[in-house]
Amino acid sequence: MKKILFIIAAITIFPCVYAKDTLPAGENIRAAHDEGLSQLVVPVNEAREDSLIKEQSLQQKINSIGYKILNANKINKPIVFTYTVDNKPLLPVDTSVTKRQIIFYDVYFKYAENDDEIAAILAREISKAVRSYDGAWGGFISSAQIKMAPKKYELFADKRAVDYMVYAGYNPIGLITLIHKAFPQKRYDTISYTNLTSRRLAIIYEYIFTKYPQFLINNKYINSEVYQNFLLESVNNRLKLRQKLESGSTASPKYE
């Protein structure tokens, strides 16, 4: 009698264990599989949520800097800024307004270390977007002129970016450090669509020196290793600028 009571008590106390152990083999496997999935779903969802929060934060940062440049420079042309983590923008790109939707790729953050350098990227692109509104046929002629003389308008965009940055409260030296880090030096540019990086930097430096010398006098980048390396590499070009100023010449130096 005691043995029978013990068996009944054991079945009553441990019903879950008994039920699980008596599941058919297939149901046991299915239950284990579902349990494993439930453990994976939470981390995956959390990782995706963290990724979205990061993307949203970076998009807000780009918007903040971009619209600050537009507002400070009284640019009243519709321009949007789109941050994307890969080579496909988050918003579809309409080819008719490509120049007016500025795509900021995640890879840019490898080089843009601060707000000045982010502003440098956006300011150059904004100058192109503004240009796309100028002239007849909805800016078609202006865009065609840029394509026909890319080296000329590359330098134009650099100078316009300096102006945009200054009026928006950013340090234009950030354009120098960004280009110095991100654009490798070619062997020559005679038959190229772009200028030598060293020539671009020399012209930007001269533009800042002439129009906004306060940024060189009180240079917050003076201790930057990148800026120091730029000074080291640009000795000859800066000597040419000095000779131009001392001679009173208005001709552009033949920067290398």
Q: Which residue in 198, 188, 210, 196 sits closest to 236, CA to CA?
A: 198
pLDDT above 90 (res 99): no
172 with 221: CB under 8 angstroms? no
Give the pLDDT of residue 209.
96
Identify whether the C-beta of residue 129 lies closer than 8 Å to the C-beta of residue 79. Answer: yes
54-92: b (≥16 Cβ within 10 Å) or e? eeeebbeebbebbbbbbeebebeeebebbbbeeeeeeee
Where are the domains positioned within the chain?
17-247
Mean pLDDT over residues 211-232, rounded? 96
pLDDT in tens, 104-144: 988 899 899 999 999 999 999 998 888 877 655 454 555 55
Which residues lie across from 81 on neighbouring strands? 102
Measured between alpha carbons, how far is 127 from 70 in angstroms, rounded to an integer? 10
Cβ-contact 103, 93 below 8 angstroms: yes
Give the residue-averaged pLDDT of 164-186: 94
Q: pLDDT (tens digit, 9 = 90+) per residue, 53-72?
A: 888 999 999 999 999 999 99
Res. 225: pLDDT tops 80: yes
pTM over 0.85: no
Looking at residues 79-90, what average pLDDT do you find?
A: 75
Provide the β-strand partners of residue 84.
105
